[in-house]
A and B are shown apart, each in its own frame.
Chain A
Amino acid sequence: MSATPPAAALELRGIVKKYPGTPPVHALAGVDLRIEDGELAAIVGPSGSGKSTMLHVMGTLDRPTEGTVLVDGRDLSRMGDRRLSAVRSQLIGFVFQQFFLIDGMSALDNVGNGLLYSGTKPRQRRQRAAQALIRVGLGERLSHFPNQLSGGERQRVAIARAVVHRPAIVLADEPTGNLDSRSSESIMELIHELNAEGTTIVVITHDHDVAAGLPRQISVRDGRIEHDSLSHLSRRASLPEISHSGAVK
Chain B
Amino acid sequence: MRPTDGRVQKSRLRIGDVLGVGSTGLRTRKMRTALSALGVTIGIAAMVGVLGLSESSRADLSNKIEALGTNLLTVSPGGGFGGGDGVLPEDAVAKIRRIGPVDEVADVVELDVSVLRNDYVNENRTGGLTVVAADLGLLGTLNGEVDEGVWLNSASASYTNVVLGSESANRLGIESVDAGMQVFIGGEWFTVVGILDPFPLAADLDRSVLIGMDVATALFDSELNPSIVYLRTPSESLDAVRGVLAATVDPAEPDEVSVSRPSDVLEAEEAADSAFTSLFLGLGAVALLVGGIGIANVMVIAVIERRNEIGLRRALGATRAHIRRQFLTEALLLSTLGGLAGVGLGATVTAVYASTQEWEVVIPPEAAVGGFVAAVAIGAIAGLYPAMRAARLAPTEALRAA
Contacts and interface: CB of A to CB of B under 8 A. Distances in A.
Interface of A: 7, 56, 59, 61-62, 72-74, 81-83, 85-92, 94, 96-98, 100, 102-105, 113-114, 116-119, 121-122, 161, 165-168
A147 B316 CA distance: 21
Nearest to B306: A102
Given A61-B395, A85-B319, A121-B14, 15 more contacts: A7-B4, A61-B399, A62-B396, A85-B314, A87-B8, A88-B317, A92-B315, A104-B25, A114-B316, A116-B316, A117-B12, A118-B317, A119-B9, A122-B14, A166-B2
B12 A102 contact: no
13 contacts: A61-B396, A81-B319, A88-B314, A88-B317, A98-B401, A100-B308, A103-B28, A104-B27, A104-B28, A105-B24, A117-B317, A118-B11, A166-B1
Nearest to B5: A73
A70 B145 CA distance: 94
Nearest to A119: B12
Given A61-B314, A88-B316, A89-B317, A100 B11 contact: no
A116 B12 CA distance: 8
A63 to B, nearest CB: 10
A90 B317 contact: yes
- Give the interface residue-count category, chain B: 35 or more
A100 B396 contact: no
Interface in B6-51: 8-14, 16-17, 21, 24-25, 27-28
B274 to A, nearest CB: 47
Contacts of B399: 61, 96, 100
Given A59-B315, A81-B319, A116-B316, A86 B11 contact: yes
Contact of B9 (A7, A86, A114, A122): A86
Nearest to A82: B319
Contacts of A166: 1-2
Given A98-B308, A117-B318, A104 B24 contact: yes
Given A119-B14, A121-B14, A89 B5 contact: no
Contacts of A86: 8-11, 317, 319
A74 B317 CA distance: 16
A102 B318 CA distance: 15
A82 B322 CA distance: 10
